[in-house]
Structure 1
Amino acid sequence: MVSINTNSAAIGALDVLRATVDGRNQTQSRVITGYRVSQASDDAAYWSIATTMRSDNKALSAVEDALGMAGAVVDTASNGVESAVDVMQEIKQRMVLAREPGVDRDKINTELVELKEQLKTITHASTFSGQNWLWRTDVADDEPKQLVGSFRRDSDGGVTVTNVEYEVAGTAGTSEVNFLIDDVSGDSGILTGSGFASELGTTKNWVMFNSEDGPTYDEMVLNDTVTDTEIEEMISVVDAMAQRTIDVGTTLGALSMRVELQNGFVMDLQDSIHYGVGKMVDADMDLESTRLRAIETKEQLGVQALAIANASTEPLISLLR
């Protein structure tokens, strides 16, 4: 039946064409954005998961930056300790030489003074971004050093930042200390503390040099009034100091390796999350481009079908003229 009020064929063709155009627009959006799920209306569940994971990935990127900073701080302290060990070995060598009969101990002491100054320089210079793990200038320096280690999301949705911790203080007054120099009380420093001499049972409280604000102990000085026994005690104390410094260097080296491994893990984790999110929301560009070409062809056919449906009323119109 041909109606002058309703062209059902044209309406049907128009509905098909409208659906084709909508499909083309959706496919074009996927091709342009590269996403199969770019907004919540595309797939609410996948969009929610992907958005959360992208947020976590940004947090992991911040953790990666923090680990880079932490690695630099640890490496700075580790390099300072290694340099200090080399200088302490030189000091021990000079003291062994001073033990020999007939040597000019005053001249050796001149070298000793310079080596002590080098230890101070190393300690003071081992600073990165305002942090110095080898030099105690305030009681606040005793606080454990917290380094950002990772970021994780619990099953209930809560987030947690985990830390890598380094106990920097040690036990003051003993050989179990980690600072090289303690300018507050002296006894928390390897070079300024009397703990080594006390544990070795020497006749004097030998220290490499005295701290700025701590008590005054027996500083190691070589001159003609120093006895052979005292020099031997100094050698023993310096050796104990060097061994403790090596232990601290070992701890810092292990910590540096842990930070480096954690940094690598965080980078791999970011890649995994990025890949996982992509599998959920990325569009298959080969499929979408092929689909777009097919829809464009279908759209052209729909336009032609609509034109044919509209032309079906032309004979009736010609009769009415």
Structure 2
Amino acid sequence: MSFSVNTNAGAMIALEDLSATQQQMSRTQNRVSTGLSVATAKDNGAVWAIAQNERAQISALDSVKSSLNRGSSIVDVALSAGQSVSDLLNQMKAQALSASDTSLDATSRQALSTNFAQLRDQIAKAVQSASFDGANLLNAGAQNLAFLANADGTSALTVQAQSMALGGSIVTVTATASLATATIASAMISVVQASIINVNAALGSLGSSSNQLTAQTTSVLDLQDTLTTGVGNLVDANMAKESAALQALQTKQQLGIQALSIANQAPQILLSLFK
């Protein structure tokens, strides 16, 4: 074995080992601090790319959820207003039935006709107020609405409009309908009854649409949770494993420092040869 003050092989080897330990500690500390074993493309390019693609899918599903939630709110408002319309029609039918009694005097008939008109006008107000975020499924000329159903935008869930404006195809009672005479009142009974049947059928359709929106929202949430779990399986660090590795590396670092210190003292032995 030769001794040299110019070349200290032991110190160089110890320094290389210490440097490698430091690099391993840096990677382990990053995993501990971020909770990720693959935080950047440098860690594992292929896995990182897969995870990023899935994250994009998860982010897109947030937009789908937002669209479906908006749809549910629009339909719920329409359902609430539609149920009010149905209740008002039931009351109008009772008023028309009472007014069909030919034995009524003029005062009673006028009172019934006034109440009938007030109920009729409330229907118009209920329909006009059935709006959420600018969308109204019950107003005159209402259009069908389509909401996002998947993250690719290639599928939509359509909700049919149910126009309940007075004098329309669903509520056949006109804005001028009255109970002026017993004959008119008798005819109005069948008109109101037809409207009741139509409105209840329309509410059934809206209820089905509401259930579809809810089911699709639940499906999207489940898919998003599954994708999130999948990304975690790819990139999340095993914290128990990383903690144990960090402890081992800290010990290895201390030993490396001591080894380097011992190796650096070797050239001083040569001084004793010159005494």
Q: Compute the TM-score of the two structures, normalised by the length of structure 2.
A: 0.92
Indicate which of 131, 135, 146 corresponds to 2:135: 131
Structure 2: state its 5+ residue gaps.
none
Task: Find out whether 1:28 has 2:29 as its counterpart.
Answer: yes
Q: CA deviation at 1:68?
A: 1.7
- 2:179 corresponds in structure 1 to 222
Q: What corresponds to 2:252 in structure 1?
A: 298
Give the 3-state SS of the residue equivalent to 1:146 in structure 2.
strand
More strand by share: 1
- 1:286 paired with 2:240, answer yes
Which residue of the partner structure matches residue 202 of structure 2?
248
Q: Which amino acid aligns with 1:51?
A: Q
Structure 2 residue matching 1:312: 3-state secondary structure: helix
Partner of 2:15: 14
Whole-Å separation in 2 of the counterparts to 1:29 and 1:107: 81
- Asked if 1:270 is matched to 2:250, the reply is no
2:119 corresponding residue in structure 1: 115
Contact 1:70-1:148 within 8 A present in 2 as well = no
Matched, 1:234 2:188: yes
Q: Deviations over 1:26-81 (max 9, x none)?
A: 11111111110001111111100111111211111122222221111010011111
Conserved in 1, the CA contact under 8 Å of 2:51 and 2:231? Answer: yes
Partner of 1:73: 74
Give, in angstroms, the shift of residue 257 of structure 1: 1.4
Give the number of the structure whose residues are more often helix, by fraction. 2
Q: 2:147 & 2:76 partners in 1: Cα distance?
A: 13
Instruction: Return 65-74 or 111-120, whichever deviates more.
Output: 65-74
2: CA distance, partners of 1:31 / 1:107: 79
Is contact 1:148–1:164 with CA below 8 Å preserved after alignment?
A: yes
CA distance in 1, matches of 2:226, 2:132: 32
Once the two structures are superposed, what CA deviation does each residue of 1:119-167 show, in whole Å capped at 9, x if it has no partner? Answer: 011111111111111112x5xx44x21122232xxxxxxx334211023
| Residue number in structure 1 paired with 2:96 | 95
Partner of residue 158, structure 2: 165
Match of 2:45 in 1: 44
Distance 2:24 2:192 in 1: 81
**Residue identity opposite 2:178 in structure 1:** V
Task: State the alpha-carbon separation in 1 of the partners of residues 145 and 66 from structure 2.
Answer: 17
The percent identity for this pair of structures is 32
Could you tell me which runs of 5 or more consecutive residues in structure 1 were left unpaired when the two chains were aligned.
Answer: 152-158, 169-177, 192-206, 211-218
Mapped partners of 2:46, 2:83: distance in 1: 54
Q: Distance in 2 between matches of 1:69 and 1:299?
A: 57
Give 1:289 shift: 1.0
Q: Which residue of 2 aligns with 1:318?
A: 272
**Rounded Cα–Cα distance in structure 2 between residues aligned with 1:96 and 1:114:** 16
Shift of 1:99: 1.9
- Tell me the CA shift for residue 189 of structure 1: 4.2
Which residue is 1:61 aligned to? 62
CA RMSD of aligned residues (A): 1.7
What corresponds to 1:190 in structure 2? Answer: 170
CA distance in 2, matches of 1:258, 1:314: 84
The equivalent of 2:263 in structure 1 is 309
How many residue pairs get aligned? The number is: 271
Q: 2:182 matched to 1:181? A: no
* Alpha-carbon distance between aligned partners in 1 of 2:265 and 2:84, rounded to the nearest angstrom: 94
Contact map agreement 1:57 1:270 (CA 8 A) in 2: yes
Q: Using the alignment, how far apart are the partners of 1:313 and 1:161 within structure 2?
A: 75
Q: Distance in 2 between matches of 1:52 and 1:266?
A: 17
Q: 3-state SS of the aligned residue for 2:218?
A: helix
The CA deviation at 1:107 is 1.8
What residue identity is the alignment partner of 2:177?
A: M
